[in-house]
Structure 1
Amino acid sequence: MIYRGAGIMTLLTPVCMVLLIMWLFPDPTVKAGNTSLAQFLIGVGVGSAINTVVGLLLNRRIHNDGVHHHFFYIPMQWPALAICVICAVTFLFTKHKIL
């Protein structure tokens, strides 16, 4: 399996945040059902930041049942942090229109 425990949240949280941002703040400059790059990067970045904090809290102590929260055999907070940093760097280096 590619995830253990709550590791699947590494993928699900950013996707849910993108959908939530698309629903709450629709971009009038793009066609219906699409999103701008800025909205996508903000959604994935915020979702990954949330997931980084959750991963740090979940993997802070050793559990009695032996459950660790991993994604691709890496503790889930580290891939989420990498995704968050990539989104932030991409957002800073592209021409963007904020929400």
Structure 2
Amino acid sequence: MKTMTLDDLLKNPLTENDKKIIANARPIATEDCPEQTDEQLKQFKPWYEVHPKGNDIYKVSVKKTAVSLRIDNDVLAALKATGKGYQSRINNILRKAVLG
């Protein structure tokens, strides 16, 4: 299964075959999956933290390097306004931009 972002979908619209596959897909049974509380969701960790050595499918390095860089004030203010964890969001934005 491939996950697509809206940007991916806009750049590469679904083909008629893709639409047929989606239309004929069976729904996922979720009755055995209880709803998670906000408190439980806060305890979730990213996959790469749970599996730091990764595997052949996902090669993820959890090592980080401290850097100093200059960011426009308005960009930094917008990121900080989104709340705690803005530095991780910056990393995720850079990861997506560089690695796709």
Q: Please, what TM-score do these two structures have when normalized by structure 2?
A: 0.22
Q: Which has the higher contact order (CA 8 A, sep 6+)?
A: 1
Structure that is richer in helix per residue: 1
Q: If the length of structure 1 is used for normalisation, what is the TM-score?
A: 0.22
